[in-house]
Amino acid sequence: MKCRVCGGQANIRLPQYNSALCASDFVAFFEKRVSGTITKHALLGEQDRTLVAVSGGKDSLSLWYLLNRLGFSADGIYIDLGIRDYSHISLVKARQMADRLQRRLYSFSLSGTFSKGIEELARIMKRPPCSLCGTIKRYVMNRASTHYGYSVLATGHNLDDEASALLGNILHWKEEYLWKKGVVLEAEHGLAKKVKPFFLCSEKEAAAYALLNKIDYVYEECPHSLGAKTLLYKSLLNRVEDVSPATKIAFLKGYLKRAKAEVSRGQEEKEKSSCKVCGYPSYSEECNFCRLLKRFGNGAAVRFDIYVPSEP
Q: Are 116 and 82 in contact (CB under 8 A)?
A: yes
Q: Does 134 bind ligand Q46 (CB under 6 A)?
A: yes
Alpha-carbon distance of 179 to 168, in angstroms, equals 13
Q: Does 130 bind ligand Q46 (CB under 6 A)?
A: yes
Task: Report the nearest approach of ligand Q46 to the CB of residue 118 (Å).
Answer: 6
Task: Report the nearest approach of ligand Q46 to the CB of residue 79 (Å).
Answer: 8
Q: Which stretch binds ligand Q46 (CB under 6 A): 126-134, 170-178, 205-213, 295-303?
A: 126-134
Q: Does 290 bind Zn ion (CB under 5 A)?
A: yes
**With CB cut-offs between 5 and 8 Å by kind, which of Zn ion, ligand Q46, none does residue 222 bind?**
ligand Q46
Residue 299 to residues 57, 112, 293, 296, Cα–Cα distance (Å): 32, 12, 8, 8
**With CB cut-offs between 5 and 8 Å by kind, which of ligand Q46, Zn ion, none does residue 191 bind?**
none
Q: Which stretch binds Zn ion (CB under 5 A): 100-108, 150-158, 243-251, 278-286?
A: 278-286
**With CB cut-offs between 5 and 8 Å by kind, which of Zn ion, ligand Q46, none does residue 278 bind?**
Zn ion
Three-class HEC string of the chain: CECCCCCCECCEEEHHHCEEECHHHHHHHHHHHHHHHHHHCCCCCCCCCEEEECCCCHHHHHHHHHHHHCCCCEEEEEEECCCHHHHHHHHHHHHHHHHHHCCCEEEEEHHHHHCCCHHHHHHHHCCCHHHHHHHHHHHHHHHHHHHCCCCEEECCCCHHHHHHHHHHHHHCCCHHHHCCCCCEECCCCCCCEEECCCCCCCHHHHHHHHHHCCCCCCCCCCHHHCCCHHHHHHHHHHHHHHHCCCHHHHHHHHHHHHHHHHHHCCCCCCCCEECCCCCCEECCCCCHHHHHHHHHCCCCCCCCEEECCCCC
Q: Which stretch binds ligand Q46 (CB under 6 A): 31-39, 88-96, 151-159, 217-225?
A: 217-225
Q: Does 66 bind ligand Q46 (CB under 6 A)?
A: no
**With CB cut-offs between 5 and 8 Å by kind, which of ligand Q46, Zn ion, none does residue 290 bind?**
Zn ion
Q: Does 277 bind Zn ion (CB under 5 A)?
A: yes
Q: Are 125 and 114 in contact (CB under 8 A)?
A: no
Task: Report the nearest approach of ligand Q46 to the CB of residue 80 (Å).
Answer: 11
Q: Does 138 bind ligand Q46 (CB under 6 A)?
A: no
Size of the site for Zn ion (CB under 5 A): 5
Q: Does 44 bind ligand Q46 (CB under 6 A)?
A: no
The single residue among 224, 278, 296, 302 that binds Zn ion, judged by CB under 5 A, is 278
**With CB cut-offs between 5 and 8 Å by kind, which of ligand Q46, Zn ion, none does residue 130 bind?**
ligand Q46
Q: Does 163 bind ligand Q46 (CB under 6 A)?
A: no
The single residue among 27, 38, 133, 184 that binds ligand Q46, judged by CB under 6 A, is 133
Residue 46: phi and psi, rounded to 5, are -60, -30
Q: Does 187 bind Zn ion (CB under 5 A)?
A: no
Instruction: Compute, in degrees rounded to 10, the torsion defined by CA atoms 88, 92, 98, 99.
Output: 150
The single residue among 153, 222, 252, 259 that binds ligand Q46, judged by CB under 6 A, is 222
Task: Report the nearest approach of ligand Q46 to the CB of residue 107 (Å).
Answer: 15
Rule CB under 5 A: which residues touch Zn ion? Answer: 275, 277-278, 287, 290
Q: Which residues bind ligand Q46 (CB under 6 A)?
A: 118, 129-130, 133-134, 222, 224-225
